[in-house]
Amino acid sequence: MSEATAGRRQAGSAVGHPTGPRATGPALDRRRVLRLALALPAAAAFVSGCSGATARRKEPDPLVALADAARADVALAAAAVAADPGLSARIEPLRAARAEHAAALDAEVVRVGGVPGAAAPTSVGPTAAPAAPSGSAPASAAAGTSPSASVTPRVVTLAQVRDAVAASQRGAADLVPGLPAERVGLVASVAACCAAYAAVLA
């Protein structure tokens, strides 16, 4: 290799150096910055969406209210039978069905990681004092005193049971359109059963 050729190669190397890998570094850095700037709004939207999904998951499970309504219907049916034992044949099947509804709805709430409502129905029947015989005045009235809410039994009628079951049917039916597919069958069956018993008790 002649000295002239070697000199030209060294000169070319010296001249070409600014266009080598080091010269592209700042340009690549600017591109990365631009990409990050463009990606920030999308990342913010993604984080916001995740926060919204978390908030939705924290909302109360609507099936808890349905289960609580079923337990309330169970207690109401029991109170109606206690007030009029002759209604047992008509109301007992409803009471048993609503107890099954409460258990099935609670199981579905637990399946998705939720917490069910009350474990047992609250008694609304005549538990504080026995009902007075038909045609007689309450003991408190006979004594000239005003009856107290804490000792006066609540007499539940067949019409009250029917109205409560009809309200439960509407509550379940209203939920069906917004439920995920795996829950539609359960809630729709609850609504249908309540509608049937409301018609039977009419």
Q: Domain segments of the chain: what residues?
A: 61-130+148-200
Mean pLDDT (the chain, rounded): 73
- CA–CA dist 17, 5 (Å, integer): 18
Is the domain spanning 61-130+148-200 CATH 1.20.1260.10? The answer is yes
Tokens 């002759």 identify what position?
A: 86
Q: How large is the average pLDDT for residues 160-179?
A: 97
Regarding pTM above 0.75, the answer is no
The per-residue pLDDT for range 29-77, each reduced to its tens digit, is 666 655 655 555 544 444 444 444 444 456 789 999 999 999 999 999 9
Got the DSSP string for 52-107?
Answer: HHHHHHTSPPHHHHHHHHHHHHHHHHHHHHHH-GGGHHHHHHHHHHHHHHHHHHHH
For the cut 70, the answer to whether the pLDDT of residue 19 exceeds it is: no
